[in-house]
Structure 1
Amino acid sequence: MTSINFNSSASAALQTLNTINKSLEQTQNSVSSGYKVSKASDNVAYWSISTTMNSDNKALNAASDALGVGAAKVDTAYAAMESAIDVVNEIKSKLVTATETSTDKDQIQLEIDKLQEQLSSIAQGASFSGENWMVSGDQTVGTVVDGFVRADDAVSVTTATYDIPTYALFDSVDAGVGTGGILGDVMDIDLTTIASNDDIAELLTTVETALATMTIGGGALGALTTRIDLQTDYASKLSGAIEEGVSRLVDADMEEESAKLSALQTQQQLAIQSLSIANSSSQNIMRLFQ
């Protein structure tokens, strides 16, 4: 039966066309944006996961940037420690030379004075972004950011530390002269006041003690550098893994979307033709009254 009040064929064809148009719109959005999940309504679960992971990845990248700052601080401190060890070794060699009774100890002391001044200069210059690990001052520990961790619903930034008071070359540097710290006793060396080689031997012991502590401090800085390098590599790999995981959840398969787009465009054309045919069927009724 044909009704002039309701065209069931046209209604069915229209519903089909609307469905196809909706699918075509979604596919076109995927093709243009590159995402199959670009908003929460596309897939709540995947959108939620990707949003959280993208946020964490940004924090991880920020932590990686902070690692670079930390590496620079450690490298600055290590360069100062290494240079100071070389200078103290020079002082050691001067003391050994002074054990020869025929040497002019006053002249050797002049050289030691310059080396002591260099030690103060090295420590004072070992500053990065206003932070100096070679002069302890009021500092307790040096810290560098080395990671970002998510555990359940909590997030945290992890840090590595360096014991500044134990390994600082000086406690303070006033008027260009360092005092206290590892090198405090080395700065007090004065050959003009000694009377025998036994006194020089005591000074050599002082220098050896300082060198031993400096070596440990340099080792601690080296270990911290290794820690930072390892964490930097890990952060890079972790960031890549997160990006890949998020991509699998929300990125569109462009080959698949391209094939789907072509198919939907064909279906749309056919649906339009079907709707046109369905609408024309009611016009045929007019011929019955001619």
Structure 2
Amino acid sequence: MTSILTNIAAMSALQTLRSINSNMEETQGRVSSGLRVGEAADNAAYWSIATTMRSDNKAISAVQDALGLGAAKVDTAYAGMESAIDVVDEIKKKVVAATEQGVDKEKVQEEIKQLQQQLISIASGASFNGQNWLVFDSTDTSATNVADKTIVSGFIRNADSTVLTNSTTYTLNSDASTADSNVLFGTIDTTANTGTGGILGSSAIDLGLTATTATWDGTVTILDMDISAYSDEDMASALSLVETGLQLMQKAASQLGSIALRIDLQEDFANKLSDAIDSGVGRLVDADMNEESTRLKALQTQQQLGIQSLSIANSNSENILSLFR
């Protein structure tokens, strides 16, 4: 039956065209955004996972920044410690040279004094962003000679969805009476160019040395040692003092080197983890552009055919007019 009120063919063609247009709009959205799941309505489960992992990846990126900052602090401290070791090595050479008979100890002491002042400059200058790991800062802790320096090194999401960060800790210790002392000074007065505590500002007695002669002053430090009037026996004690300080400094440098290595490894892991998360999220929500472009081309063809079909269906009503001519 042919009716001018109800065009079944046109209605069917229009419904098909609407479906094609809807599919084309969806496909064009995927092509333009590159996402198969762009919002929760597309796939709630995948969208939720992807959103959570993207958030975690931002946290990992912040951890990478923190690791970079921590690495800079450690590198600065290591560079300072390495330079201080070189200077104390020079002091050791001067002390050894001064043990030779006929050497003017006062002239050698003038050289040593300049090296001692250089140690103050190194210790006070080894600071990054206000953090100096070669000079103890007692404001960091309630303890008198121990302070923890921390570096954020990881972000963790547990199975129960709780999150936390972990950190790498480096403990500053200015107590020279222990084998764990790893700072050059406890405190520094840059105005007076003096320092106390730590490896270089602690007395020979605090470093565990005993007097070998009656004239040896056990309260002397590497920083204020003056060999001008030392006897041969005193020179031996001075050499022991310098050597003890060197061993502690070398141990501290090895600790800093170990921390630097761990930070490098953690940075490498964080980079790989971030890439793995990006890849995993991509598998869940990214659109296959080859597939989407093929589908878009097919839908464009279907749209053209749908429009043609609707045009033909609409022309059927016009044909009725010819019956009344």
With normalisation by structure 1, the TM-score equals 0.93
Counting only pairs closer than 5 Å after superposition, residues 116-127 of structure 1 correspond to structure 2 as: 116-127=116-127
Q: CA deviation at 1:81?
A: 0.4
| Structure 1 residues 135-284: aligned runs within 5 Å | 135-138=135-138, 139=140, 140-152=147-159, 153-165=161-173, 166-174=181-189, 175-184=192-201, 185-194=221-230, 196-284=231-319
Q: Which runs of 5+ in 1 are unaligned?
A: none
* Structure 2: distance between partners of 1:49 and 1:38: 12
CA distance in 1, matches of 2:162, 2:234: 61
Question: Aligned with 1:252: secondary structure?
Answer: coil
Residues of 2 paired with 1:7 and 1:255: CA distance? 39
C-alpha deviation, 1:193, in angstroms? 4.5
Q: For the aligned residues, what is the CA RMSD? A: 1.7
Q: Percent identity?
A: 58
For 1:100 and 1:266, locate their aligned partners in 2 and report how far apart those are by CA, in whole Å: 100
User: Separation in 1 of the partners of 2:222 and 2:87?
Assistant: 11
CA shift for structure 1 position 239 = 1.3
**What's the secondary structure of 2:188's corresponding residue?**
strand
Q: In the alignment, residue 225 of structure 2 is paired with which amino acid?
A: I
CA distance in structure 2 between the aligned counterparts of 1:18 and 1:55, rounded to whole angstroms: 38
Q: Distance in 1 between matches of 2:90 and 2:222?
A: 12
Aligned partner of 2:38 in structure 1 is: 38
SS in 1 for 2:228: helix
SS at match of 2:38: coil
Residue 98 of structure 1 aligns with which residue? 98
Contact 2:116 2:224 in 1 (8 A): no
Query: How far apart are the structure 1 equivalents of 2:59 and 2:278?
Result: 13
Give yes or no for contact 2:105–2:229 (8 Å, CA) kept in 1.
Answer: no
Give the Cα–Cα distance (whole angstroms) in 1 for the partners of residues 163 and 300 of structure 2: 47
Length-normalised TM-score, structure 2:
0.84
2:63 counterpart residue number:
63
1:136 CA displacement: 0.4
Q: How far does the alpha carbon of each residue in 1:141-165 deviate from its partner, in whole angstroms, 9 at most, with x for none? A: 2222222222231222222121222
> How many residues end up aligned between the 2 structures?
289
Give 4+ residue runs of structure 1 displaced > 6 Å after superposition.
none
Using the alignment, how far apart are the partners of 1:265 and 1:137 within structure 2? 71
CA displacement, residues 74-114 of structure 1 (integer Å, 9 cap, x when unaligned): 11100110011111111111111222232111111111111
Contact 2:91 2:112 in 1 (8 A): yes
Q: SS of the counterpart of 2:69? A: helix
Partner of 1:87: 87
Higher relative contact order (CA 8 A, sep 6+): 1
**1:158 is paired with a residue of what secondary structure?**
strand
Q: Once the 2 structures are TM-superposed, how far is the Cα of residue 288 of structure 1 from its aligned partner?
A: 5.0
SS at match of 1:162: strand
Q: Which has the higher helix share?
A: 1
Residue identity opposite 1:186 in structure 2: I
Q: Cα distance, 1:285 vs. partner?
A: 4.3
- Distance in 2 between residues matched to 1:283 and 1:189, nearest whole Å: 115
Deviations 1:120-148 (A, max 9, x none): 11100001001100110214122222222
